[in-house]
């Protein structure tokens, strides 16, 4: 039988052989060149194959493999949403109003803490960390969780999170399972970081890594962007990809198997976070909320936190850019901002709610970004201004679906100082300073005087391993019988 270029001659499983320029070539892909071309052209994306003739066998195989895993139906939806978005950003949604927020008063805190502790002791609480982001503003070469942040030890961000999980497990005589979302870009490096640090003392069987999905990007004409002749540009599908990734990876089943009912969710960049704070858990359970959100007063009207609002009778979260200037700057009689409370992505979810939500189609958010692309000469171009559109899902789009949402206000000085930027606000420098200030307040609380600078900030670097002490009360216990640390040198209290 005569064969021509592109003819499929064998095609079982993940391997396909076909005739290419008179040679029989085998590609470890489910897709032939012809199938790829047909599918792409049907979606007006035929340009993806424009370098085909210049690719070697491996590159061709890689490209076909990538195309075979691409959801072209989704690409079609992205393209049509982008078209609408570029035409008009107007919204017909009702005016938002600030959502109700409760503060954890001292008398309720004690009872709520007891309730939260009993859930922890019963092994009903799991911890979920999203760490799949690219950390582009920080510009660190590696997963953000591997960034050294310890003010004395240079311990990495993952260390502080993992040691808190370990400390909770010990305090409540249980195993708190730790679910960590990574992405294709940082999964191997994240796992290697845990291996290198001997899992920070955790039992590896209680750590569950799972990878989020990757999405392509489009140019202004809705065309897929190639970042190399044989590769489409792909980036993580946003923290809103958490639930679908948890479902496909078996993470949700694992949670069920372990008998969990409440999941504490947080982000990798904030080492001040009170992981699975018992008082927060207790409030959430008392109120029978399906989703709870820790919120704090905004630093200033322009701070870019998501805002919890009430709209059409439901609680939802909007990006701060969705508020008009007038809404952002509006104040109440007591001087506080009318839209005062922002979310720092610390949540509690009921597992039943997560399971219900896992198959819900999430809205796509579009952002105009600088995306490396492949020029006509096949070389990669790094643009200096936005040239394409990325699509992301946001975790907070689950909010309006919850039967009950509870917003709990907390004091940001104690719980929030993220590492977002390389310099300036929300940078490693401000974060280390806030960590030291927090631990300095613990010393104050137990009556140990630290040397202070003129501004009242501790004059020496301090660091406390969360497994050594998770609260001021534990710090007092630990220091009661032992020798006091030398307060004229950097203080590093750690479990030996």
The residues of the shown chain that bind ligand UTP, judged by CB under 6 A, are 130-137, 144, 181, 212, 236, 238-239, 267-269, 420
- Tally of CA atoms within 13 A in the half-sphere of 388 that contains its CB: 25
Identify whether the C-beta of residue 134 lies closer than 8 Å to the C-beta of residue 185: yes
Minimum CB separation of residue 237 from ligand UTP in Å reads: 6
Q: Which residues pair with 317 in a beta bridge?
A: 308
Closest to ligand UTP by CB, 45 vs 267, is 267
* Block residue for tokens 């009993």: 118
Closest to ligand UTP by CB, 71 vs 288, is 71
Closest to ligand UTP by CB, 316 vs 392, is 392
Q: Which residues pair with 321 in a beta bridge?
A: none
Minimum CB separation of residue 6 from ligand UTP in Å reads: 36
Closest to ligand UTP by CB, 267 vs 350, is 267
Minimum CB separation of residue 81 from ligand UTP in Å reads: 18
Minimum CB separation of residue 234 from ligand UTP in Å reads: 11
Cβ burial of 326 (10 Å; 0-12, 13-18, 19+) is exposed
Alpha-carbon distance of 157 to 147, in angstroms, equals: 6
Minimum CB separation of residue 40 from ligand UTP in Å reads: 25
Q: In this chain, which residue has its C-beta nearest to ligand UTP?
A: 133
At 488, phi and psi to the nearest 5?
-105, 5
Sequence-ordered list of residues with C-beta below 8 angstroms from that of 438, at least 6 positions apart, any chain: 272, 413, 414
* Block residue for tokens 């999405």: 215
Pairing of the two strands 97-98 and 306-311: antiparallel
What is residue 458's DSSP assignment? Answer: B
Sequence-ordered list of residues with C-beta below 8 angstroms from that of 375, at least 6 positions apart, any chain: 381
Closest to ligand UTP by CB, 52 vs 320, is 320
Alpha-carbon distance of 476 to 471, in angstroms, equals: 9
Closest to ligand UTP by CB, 117 vs 227, is 227
Minimum CB separation of residue 268 from ligand UTP in Å reads: 4
Minimum CB separation of residue 418 from ligand UTP in Å reads: 7
Closest to ligand UTP by CB, 123 vs 133, is 133
């Amino acid at each position: 039988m005569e064969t021509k270029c592109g003819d499929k001659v064998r095609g079982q499983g993940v391997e396909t052989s076909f005739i290419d320029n008179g040679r029989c070539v085998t590609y470890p892909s489910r897709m032939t060149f012809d199938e790829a071309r047909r599918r792409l052209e049907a979606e007006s994306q035929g340009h993806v194959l424009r370098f085909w003739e210049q690719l070697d066998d491996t590159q061709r195989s890689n490209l076909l493999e990538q195309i075979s895993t691409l959801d072209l139906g989704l690409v079609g939806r992205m393209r049509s949403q982008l078209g609408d978005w570029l035409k008009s950003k107007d919204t017909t949604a009702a005016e938002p109003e600030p959502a109700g927020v409760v503060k954890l008063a001292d008398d309720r805190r004690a009872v709520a803490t007891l309730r939260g502790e009993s859930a922890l002791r019963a092994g009903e609480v799991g911890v979920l960390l999203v760490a799949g982001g690219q950390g582009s503003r920080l510009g660190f070469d590696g997963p953000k969780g591997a960034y050294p942040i310890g003010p004395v030890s240079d311990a990495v961000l993952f260390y502080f999170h993992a040691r808190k999980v370990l400390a909770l497990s010990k305090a409540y005589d249980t195993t708190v399972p730790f679910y960590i979302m990574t992405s294709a870009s940082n999964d191997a490096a994240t796992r290697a970081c845990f291996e290198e640090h001997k899992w920070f003392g955790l039992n590896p069987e209680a750590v569950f890594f799972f990878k989020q999905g990757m999405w392509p990007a489009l140019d202004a004409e809705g065309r897929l962007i190639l970042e190399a002749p044989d590769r489409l540009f792909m980036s993580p599908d946003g923290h809103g990809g958490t639930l679908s990734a948890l479902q496909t990876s078996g993470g949700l089943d694992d949670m069920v198997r372990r008998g969990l009912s409440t999941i504490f969710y947080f982000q990798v960049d904030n080492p001040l976070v009170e992981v699975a704070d018992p008082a927060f858990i207790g409030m959430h359970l008392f109120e029978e909320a399906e989703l709870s959100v820790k919120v704090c007063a905004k630093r200033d009207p322009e701070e870019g936190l998501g805002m919890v609002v009430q709209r059409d009778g439901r609680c939802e979260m909007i990006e701060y850019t969705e508020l008009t200037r007038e809404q952002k700057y509006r104040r109440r009689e007591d001087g506080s901002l009318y839209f005062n409370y922002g979310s720092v992505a610390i949540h509690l979810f009921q597992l039943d709610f997560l399971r219900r939500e896992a198959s819900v189609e999430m809205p796509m958010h579009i952002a105009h970004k600088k995306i490396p692309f492949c020029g006509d000469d096949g070389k990669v171009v790094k643009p200096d201004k936005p040239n394409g559109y990325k699509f992301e899902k946001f975790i907070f789009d689950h909010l309006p679906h919850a039967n009950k949402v509870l917003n709990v206000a907390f004091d940001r000085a104690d719980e929030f100082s993220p590492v977002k930027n390389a310099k300036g606000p929300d940078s490693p420098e401000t974060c280390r300073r806030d960590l030291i200030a927090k631990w300095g307040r613990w010393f104050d609380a137990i009556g140990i005087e630290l040397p202070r600078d003129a501004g009242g900030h501790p004059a020496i670097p301090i660091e406390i391993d969360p497994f050594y002490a998770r609260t001021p009360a534990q710090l007092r216990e630990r220091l009661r019988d032992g020798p006091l640390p030398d307060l004229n040198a950097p203080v590093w209290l750690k479990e030996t």
